[in-house]
């Protein structure tokens, strides 16, 4: 049985942790779970994962992680680019330093990890790259414009990468989760609170958005546990012919389809109904 080395970024919580746990159960996979602070993922070793430090905003850290996997396996068999978070706030009020930090993780970290694993993948004539994007790369909600921009960037990078690497036997898939019950919502709410100006021009919109996020993430109909995404990632990792895109959760599929059908003006009208308390 051929063993495939799977390197997953951002496994300290949420989707990344669930994916590491799920994939570690397979005997044909060697899973490398990573995080900036390895003490946050030490328990994943008992699930069968190998533990590596990895900060996708640090060049030396990324190089070291990839070289470790290549030393033991020749090449990274599968790279799961999962690390990411949401920097929320209105376009006017959100500090660009925070936006830059988000893009370093969500976009440039993903791009650099991809660059680092590709030479050995090409030499081996095989490999897979699974990028964890978001339904937020297909549609936009207010107060999340900069986060959505990072996920739109992941969409573009993934589409170009899929075509460019196909001749070398490398398969590329994009995972587009909807609302997943992880710590993402809390981080988004915290960054929104830090960027919003109390009693400012967008105060009502920010309050309405916070209520929308809280209600949506608490809904069993609109959200799903991270294990749902982990199973989808596993399919992208192991299927003989993985899909190019996987939209995860029925609600996400409905929203993406609705946005495509409605067009911008009608979708804006829909959003006004959702945020009517912001008026």
The single residue of 85, 88, 146, 147 carrying the catalytic annotation is 147
Model confidence, pTM: 0.94
User: Is a pLDDT exceeding 70 seen at residue 116?
Assistant: yes
Every domain of the chain and the residues it spans: 4-278
Residue 134: per-residue pLDDT:
97
pLDDT, tens digit, 9 for 90 and up, residues 254-269: 999 999 999 999 999 9
Q: Per-residue pLDDT averaged across 234-258, rounded? A: 96
Percent of the chain with pLDDT over 70: 96
Lowest mean pLDDT among 184-193, 194-203, 223-232, 251-260: 184-193
Q: CATH number for the 4-278 domain, one of 3.40.640.10, 3.40.1360.10, 3.30.1360.120, 3.40.50.720?
A: 3.40.50.720
Is the predicted pLDDT of residue 194 greater than 50, yes or no? Answer: yes
Would residue 147 show up in a list of annotated catalytic residues for this protein? yes
Strands 127-132 and 29-35: unpaired
> pLDDT class for 3, splitting at 50, 70, 90?
low
Mean pLDDT estimate for the chain: 94
pLDDT tens digits for range 6-39:
999 999 999 999 999 999 999 999 999 999 999 9
Banded pLDDT at 279 (limits 50, 70, 90) = low
Q: pLDDT value at position 195?
A: 76
pLDDT at 1: 38
pLDDT score for 196: 77
Q: Specify the pLDDT at position 278.
A: 57
Residue 110 CA to residue 62 CA, distance in Å, equals 10
């Amino acid at each position: 049985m051929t063993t495939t080395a799977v390197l997953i970024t951002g496994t300290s919580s949420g989707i990344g942790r669930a994916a590491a746990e799920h994939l570690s159960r397979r005997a044909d996979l060697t899973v490398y779970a990573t995080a900036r602070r390895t003490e946050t993922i030490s328990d994943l070793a008992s699930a069968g994962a190998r533990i590596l430090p990895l900060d996708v905003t640090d060049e030396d850290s990324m190089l070291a992680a990839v070289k470790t996997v290549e030393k033991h396996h020749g090449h990274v068999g599968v790279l799961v680019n999962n690390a990411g978070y949401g920097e929320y706030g209105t376009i006017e009020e959100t500090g660009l330093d925070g936006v830059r930090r988000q893009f370093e993780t969500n976009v440039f970290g993903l791009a650099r990890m991809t660059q680092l694993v590709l030479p050995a993948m090409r030499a081996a004539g095989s490999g897979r790259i699974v990028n964890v994007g978001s339904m937020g790369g297909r549609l936009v909600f207010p107060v999340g414009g900069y986060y959505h921009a990072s996920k739109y960037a992941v969409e573009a990078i993934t589409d170009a990468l899929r075509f460019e690497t196909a001749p070398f036997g490398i398969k590329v898939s994009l995972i587009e989760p909807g609302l997943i019950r992880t710590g993402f919502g809390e981080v988004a709410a915290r960054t929104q609170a830090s960027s919003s100006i109390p009693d400012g021009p967008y105060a009502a919109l920010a309050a309405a958005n916070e209520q929308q996020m809280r209600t949506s993430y608490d809904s069993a109909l609109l959200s799903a546990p991270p294990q749902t995404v982990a199973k989808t990632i596993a399919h992208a990792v192991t299927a003989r012919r993985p899909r190019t895109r996987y939209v995860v959760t029925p609600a996400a599929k409905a929203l993406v389809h609705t946005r495509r059908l409605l067009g911008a003006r009608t979708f804006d009208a829909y959003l006004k109904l959702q945020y009517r308390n912001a008026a």
